[in-house]
Structure 1
């Protein structure tokens, strides 16, 4: 439209301008929506991390009040508080993520409450949630303790809290201190505390993009005279053996859990890296497959050499299941799943949402005023520094 036409038809110029303005704004809004959708994991992360200082502060109050009472009172209160926080994590990692959890094998373990050592293959930063998914159905959520790598002890708030909750920090390889682990674990047996002790025997995550780690695992198997593993890493025995020895007579069973995440094969059929927390919260893992095996502790070898062979045989079984899971052979019955008929694990809003509301609302009330925000900031700063000093002295 030339200048003459513009003068003769001014209304068309205005209409065209309005249309272009509208298109521009719609496109801008769509860009914002797409961006918010791509970072929707941030809200759960902010809530979980942001409520941690309040949670630890509440624990400190409980610790102070129960200091004059028998130890059992403190332990029950701490386990109850831990249950509240972990119910919140289940809300985000189940309700928000939309994942379908399918359990195979000995699913009856969900019905009977018992003390257990819990071992599983390790792939990503979501693996720790598996114990939550299962323990809550036993009423054992607050009893979960972890054997953690030593570097995690300096995580602000979480590191010191996990230490007092009964978790143990261990160093890898030649720096492993067996006597220190015995001391940490023996407290559970001496005080007869209910326990789900979670151990990742591989010691690090299986990552198909780190072939050097996989090769070290195979070399370790060869040195021991064991079969090389392709889809899991060779397990290490020392931490498992120490925990079995120290908890004998107190722990009833060993739970052997195999974990596989759906949507972890690329277009060429090769296995991808297991999804990080962000992808999980974004709903990029439609299904989570869990094979459960309940093994009475009396059936687990106690001698080191026999235990080493027995544990490696468990991981050979895991390796076969994982290999079939990732196979492109359509004739295999277990491609993309585990053997047997799966049982779906579900959670209600009543089980999880009240914890979210309590922790988020309590933290929100503190942050609602400028005085509260200043106090909260100082508490986070000095609480973090104090936690680092405390953990350094305890190491």
Structure 2
């Protein structure tokens, strides 16, 4: 079994070449893929910077108004009666807002998104695991989910510090992302409690895991290679060795309610982007997303065997990324079409109209709307900070009644 404790301590280090023994076989620690010293695809002009600032203001203002006005209705009032319908309403409303991001990437920034491999089936409950090239990998999975009508049902396992981001942290909580500290002794109970609430097969679910636990850098790659050489594991150049406990916890908790697992590999041309690159549209020129469907029966049930299986998948993923680096594409391209510009514009129009209406109600209408906004901000801040989502009143009453019957 891979040592999670040792792997969690793989920190940055400088690029080196060396060799180590793996059993009786000598293996070279190869140079990782270099991400630095590469020019941006497009220059950051004054017009591009202005456009990016305007887009960011629109994204933040619309997010704030959507959350403040809708979240108390969908995640508090509706949830007191039904978790299922609360999730349906939340997913529907906030998927409209989330669609603004693929619109920004593909239509405004002109980033080409290319899908390859196998086609993701619609209306499946799935677990997706992906390599973690950069800080914005998870945002490009919105492009895939939008095409499948599952944008509002994406749930990520992400580091807890992101929950502190203004506005976005509220959104992560409302959409029920799982926040972790990246220390298994702390995260295990949190993850298992949260995963237990996702078991209802009637609730659509796209749960996304990045098993590497952190985004790729040359320094982290060298540290990962050293660990692999010392423990007889595959030496990867284009990704880090996966941490297996979180992945297995997800699989163990949800196996009986999932339809499939998808192995997703992400590659960028010609430079890995940052969030600022995305906002201003300077990078990337292309995003390539390769999908492989895995049947649940193919994944071992025991934790040790599942860990070995995941490491092997990352070895194959590393080979796939090496081929992408050489050729510039993944095999079997063209599995999904472009998003509809007209549909994106229609959703953007709806969001802008709603936001304008909410701003009017807040600033120029009844005083009670100001009270509502103040209450909403206070409630969402409190709920996000303490990671609280209400339980249905009917369910609580039923549990209390059953407990009383047992006593009697």
Q: TM-score, normalised by structure 2?
A: 0.75
Q: The residue matched to 2:257 in structure 1 has which SS?
A: coil
Q: How far apart are the structure 1 equivalents of 2:319 and 2:92?
A: 39
Instruction: Please state if 1:393 is matched with 2:386.
Output: yes
RMSD between aligned residues: 2.9
8 Å Cα contact 1:101-1:345 kept in structure 2? no
Structure 2 vs 1, CA of residues 42 and 378 (structure 1 numbering), >3 Å: closer, same or farther? farther
> Is the contact between residue 241 and residue 302 of structure 1 (CA under 8 Å) also seen in structure 2?
no
Larger radius of gyration: 1
The answer to which of 181-190 and 377-386 deviates more is 377-386
Give the secondary structure class of the aligned counterpart of 1:47.
Answer: helix
Cα displacement string for residues 70-116 of structure 1 (whole angstroms, at most 9, x for unaligned residues): 3322221111112111112221122112122211211x22x432110
Aligned equivalents of 1:341, 1:167: Cα separation in 2: 31
CA distance in 2, matches of 1:366, 1:348: 27
1:60 and 2:72 equivalent?
yes
Change in 2 beyond 3 A, CA 1:160/1:370 = closer
Q: Do residues 363 (structure 1) and 355 (structure 2) align? A: yes
1:104 is paired with a residue whose SS is: strand
What whole-Å deviation, never above 9, does each CA across 1:341-370 have from its counterpart, x for those lacking one?
A: 444531012332222222223323444699
Question: Match for residue 338 of structure 1?
Answer: 330
C-alpha deviation, 1:218, in angstroms: 1.9
Q: Does 1:127 align with 2:158?
A: no
Partner of 1:98: 110
Aligned residue in 1 for 2:61: 50
2:170 touches 2:384 (CA, 8 Å); kept in 1?
A: yes
**C-alpha distance after superposition, 1:117-136 (max 9, x if no partner):** 01111122331123222222
Which structure 2 segments of 5+ residues have no match? 1-43, 389-408
SS in 2 for 1:290: strand
Aligned residues: 342
CA contact (8 A) 2:102 2:140 kept: no
Matched residue, 1:319: 318
Q: Any stretches of 5+ residues in structure 1 without a counterpart?
A: 1-32, 265-273, 328-334
Q: 1:202 aligns with which of 206, 212, 227?
A: 212
Alpha-carbon distance in 2 for matches of 1:134, 1:343: 11
Task: Report which structure shows greater RCO (CA 8 Å, sep ≥6).
Answer: 2
Deviations 1:255-309 (A, max 9, x none): 1111111112xxxxxxxxx111332341532221111100011211221221111
Written as runs of structure 1 = structure 2, the 5 A alignment for 1:274-353 is 274-281=272-279, 282-327=281-326, 335-343=327-335, 345-353=337-345
Q: Would the alpha carbon gap of residues 120 and 69 (structure 1) be closer, same or farther in structure 2, given more than 3 Å must change?
A: same
| Separation (CA, whole Å) in 1 of partners of 2:379 and 2:82 | 26
- Asked if the contact 1:366–1:372 (Cα under 8 Å) also holds between the matched residues in 2, the reply is no
Whether contact under 8 Å (1:144, 1:197) holds in the other structure is yes
CA gap 1:262/1:175 in 2 versus in 1, 3 angstroms: same
- 1:325, 1:338 within 8 Å by CA — same for their partners in 2? yes
Given that residues 129 and 263 in structure 2 are in contact (C-alpha distance below 8 angstroms), is that contact kept between their aligned partners in structure 1? yes
Residues in 2 aligned to 1:366 and 1:341: alpha-carbon distance in whole angstroms: 43
Alpha-carbon distance between aligned partners in 2 of 1:65 and 1:382, rounded to the nearest angstrom: 13
Higher helix share: 1
Taking the aligned partners of 1:69 and 1:380, their CA distance within structure 2 comes to: 23
Question: Greater CA deviation, 168-177 or 139-148?
Answer: 168-177
Native 8 Å contact 1:79 1:142 kept in 2: yes
Equivalent residues of 1:87, 1:351 under 8 A apart: no
TM-score, normalising length: structure 1? 0.78
Q: 2:147 aligned with 1:148, yes or no? A: no
Contact 1:99–1:283 (CA<8 Å) still a contact in 2? no
